[in-house]
Structure 1
Amino acid sequence: MAYLTLFLTAFAAATLVPAYSEVLLGGLVTQNYSLWGLWACATAGNTLGSVLNGWIGRQVERFRHKRWFPISEKQLESAQVRFNKYGQWSLLMAWLPIGGDALTLIGGIMRVPWLNFIVLVAIGKGLRYALVLWIVLEATG
């Protein structure tokens, strides 16, 4: 049950829902759960939460033909091409507490290919949770 709770908390933390999976992860580390299991659940949940953000971002494009849409169709297509060429690497920073969720939403709007999106986000999220585990283990001896 602890692994599921961590997965769901990490999922929520990647969305606009205020959740702090690092705190739960730190507490579970001290209770002798499998470090690999904790890391995998936190990383998978947080990555899938970011995929939800990316999916929501992709839905924004449905409104591109509306008069009130803030940029023209041509500008959006140009931005998507540029972002996919140069900007998709920014998804490695999706783990950041400020702006990380916005990056995944933008990645969706910019239609980053799903495989690239998931791999880049998962690398960043996995490294963050590995760092959290290392810090907790160092602090608890």
Structure 2
Amino acid sequence: MEAYFSLFFIAFLAATLVPAYSEIMLAGLLATGYDPALLWVFATVGNTLGSVVNWALGRYLLHFKDRRWFPFKEKNLGPAQRWFQRYGVWSLLMAWAPLFGDALTFIAGLMRIRLPIFVFLTFAGKGARYAIIVGLFDQFETYFLNTDWF
């Protein structure tokens, strides 16, 4: 169970301001035989809850935006703001994306997107990403381990 909670924690951190890569840990745990469905649940829930931290920062802590420690600088928010203005709340399905995904979740807080809608769309996008990773790993494993390559 410790491995699942470790994945949850890394996925949580990866969605916040801490640089972490939950996909690497997910692939490692898949390779060692952990249950793919449980790994998907722990990674998706952890990553979604980490995004809720960004949403809360956007919603409640904007008055700290000029502080050095504030996680999102104006230059990083620009592309995410344009994306959000163009596609609206549906852009949260892309919250998993590197570079602007975390900023999108912060912008959603700034835009005062209701938390249930935010969680639903963010969970759907992040869940799809982890499902693709699990599926690709399964295909990779099936192809390479069922051949005479190794």
Q: TM-score range by the shorter chain?
A: 0.7 to 0.9
Cα deviation for residue 32 of structure 1 reads: 1.4
Cα deviation for residue 33 of structure 1 reads: 1.1
Q: Partners in 2 of 1:61 and 1:27 — Cα distance?
A: 37
> Which residue number corresponds to residue 3 of structure 1?
4
Cα deviation for residue 123 of structure 1 reads: 0.1
Q: Residue 9 of structure 1 contacts residue 19 of structure 1 at CA under 8 Å; is this kept in 2?
A: yes
Q: Deviations 1:95-117 (Å, cap 9, x if unpaired)?
A: 10120000000000111000000
> Which residue number corresponds to residue 60 of structure 2?
59
Q: Partners in 2 of 1:98 and 1:138 — Cα distance?
A: 27
> Which residue number corresponds to residue 130 of structure 2?
129
Cα deviation for residue 88 of structure 1 reads: 1.0
What is the TM-score when the length of structure 2 is the normalising length? Answer: 0.77
> Which residue number corresponds to residue 117 of structure 1?
118
Q: Residue 47 of structure 1 contacts residue 125 of structure 1 at CA under 8 Å; is this kept in 2?
A: yes
Percent of aligned pairs with the same residue?
Answer: 51
Q: Deviations 1:104-139 (Å, cap 9, x if unpaired)?
A: 000001110000000000000000000011111111
In structure 2, give the amino acid aligned to 1:31.
T
In structure 1, give the amino acid aligned to 2:115.
W
Q: What secondary structure is seen at the aligned counterpart in 1 of 2:60?
A: helix
- Stretches of structure 2 lacking an aligned partner (at least 5 in a row): 65-80, 143-150
Cα deviation for residue 17 of structure 1 reads: 0.6
Q: Partners in 1 of 2:61 and 2:12 — Cα distance?
A: 21
Q: Partners in 2 of 1:49 and 1:61 — Cα distance?
A: 18
Q: Residue 60 of structure 1 contacts residue 109 of structure 1 at CA under 8 Å; is this kept in 2?
A: no
Is residue 141 of structure 2 the alignment partner of residue 140 of structure 1?
Answer: yes
> Which residue number corresponds to residue 16 of structure 1?
17
What is the TM-score when the length of structure 1 is the normalising length? Answer: 0.81
> Which residue number corresponds to residue 102 of structure 1?
103
Q: Deviations 1:24-74 (Å, cap 9, x if unpaired)?
A: 0001011111111000000000000000000000124557xxxxxxxxxxx
Q: Partners in 1 of 2:17 and 2:141 — Cα distance?
A: 31
Q: Partners in 2 of 1:27 and 1:137 — Cα distance?
A: 12
- Stretches of structure 1 lacking an aligned partner (at least 5 in a row): 64-78
**1:66-81 to 2 correspondence within 5 Å?**
none
Count matched residues.
Answer: 122
Is residue 54 of structure 2 the alignment partner of residue 31 of structure 1?
Answer: no
Segments of 4+ moved more than 6 angstroms: none
**1:36-47 to 2 correspondence within 5 Å?**
36-47=37-48
Q: Partners in 1 of 2:117 and 2:54 — Cα distance?
A: 15
